[in-house]
Amino acid sequence: MSRPARALLDATALRHNLDRVRDHAPQAKVMAVVKANGYGHGLAWAARTLAAADAFGVASAEEGAALRESGVTRQICLLEGFFDAAELPLLARHGLEPAIHHEEQLRAIEAAALDRRLSVWLKIDTGMHRIGFAPEEAAAALARLKACAGVGAVRVMSHLACADDRSDPATKSQIERFLTLTRDMGLEKSLANSAGIVAWPESRLDWVRPGIMLYGAAPLTGAGAAELGLKPVMTLQTALIAVHRRRKGEAIGYGGDFRCPEDMPVGVAAIGYGDGYPRHAPAGTPVLVNGARAALIGRVSMDMITLDLRAQPQAKAGDPVVLWGAGLPVDEIAAAAGTISYELLCHVAERIPRVISNESADERG
């Protein structure tokens, strides 16, 4: 019997979450963001399951080429653009659409002799202050792209920095700045990320770019995924591999950080930081054992965690343990561990098998 740790992926939930995007922005085209191995779910699988999307967003040419090689024919945007002029022939060959966000990229694309014209996305910095042309540089950059022999269609985008907080005025300012800058450009526009899609209607323009909401995690602070009508796509699951009666005062795990306050059953589950479970998850972080809550105790090890089973004295080796997913939101575990759901999902290790349910024949490829 193989190690019981599994990431169960629900294709129906992923399609449902895409439908929720359409509900919020029915007039917009959808660029489904599948970078970072589909947020840990699998790049090709996520794209196949999201085949109803209008385009896909990835971080690099390598991810874009991998999608093409898996059979994806939709538009693919490289959200960080290209990193070196040597990549441009690959982009042209695969029809990948880079974000153009700084002067060196402009010079490279102006100097390139390509067999195929590139569609590109002009990236404007409206307040994120990460990548993108400054507002006062945008018009000149656009003029150069339009004059470039190697460039075909041009679209324009920016990125919201604080949209997860409905009370933050920075988002309203960014939206107004972007709309003012692009009003007379005559280009298709994209601004809304997951939080923008859910909470900021004015940001839902020609294109929307959902990421985390597709995978069933909440893009907003103070609002749970279920409240937003999202379903978890990944359930990280394992099983108990041992249950022991421990005496009052006995120390559990590395460093003896947890000492049993009374005689109690302690379970050991086959999952750890080597699998992507957060090492810094503190005692008290919840899991589900046989569908009921139990608490993490002791330090997370590379391959194992220990659990307080006082509320489930009947639990035994082989019983299922859910770390997050169905019945236990990943956002709750992320908050307990002092991180975000994005990190937990993206860090699920390759050694964890992905087991897919509710997949159509077309999605199986």
Out of 35, 123, 189, 231, pick the active-site residue: 35
24 three-class SS: helix
CB burial of residue 122 (10 Å; 0-12, 13-18, 19+): buried
CA distances (Å), 162 to each of 192, 219, 220, in order?
Answer: 11, 11, 10
Is 302 annotated among the ligand-binding residues?
yes
Contact present, 240 and 266 (Cβ < 8 Å): no
Respond yes or no: is residue 254 known to be catalytic: yes
130 is in an annotated binding site: yes
* Residue 35 annotated in active site: yes
Do residues 234 and 262 lie in contact, with contact meaning Cβ atoms separated by under 8 Å? no
168 CB burial (10 A radius; 0-12, 13-18, 19+): middle
Handedness of CA 219, 73, 142, 150 (dihedral sign): positive
Is there a contact between 321 and 292 (Cβ–Cβ < 8 Å)? no
* Residue where the block lists tokens 């895409």: 18
Pick the catalytic residue from 146, 172, 248, 254.
Answer: 254
DSSP string, 187-228: --EEEE-HHHHHH-GGG--SEE---GGGGT---STT--TTTT
Give the residue numbers of the binding site for substrate. Answer: 130, 302
Active centre residues (catalytic): 35, 254
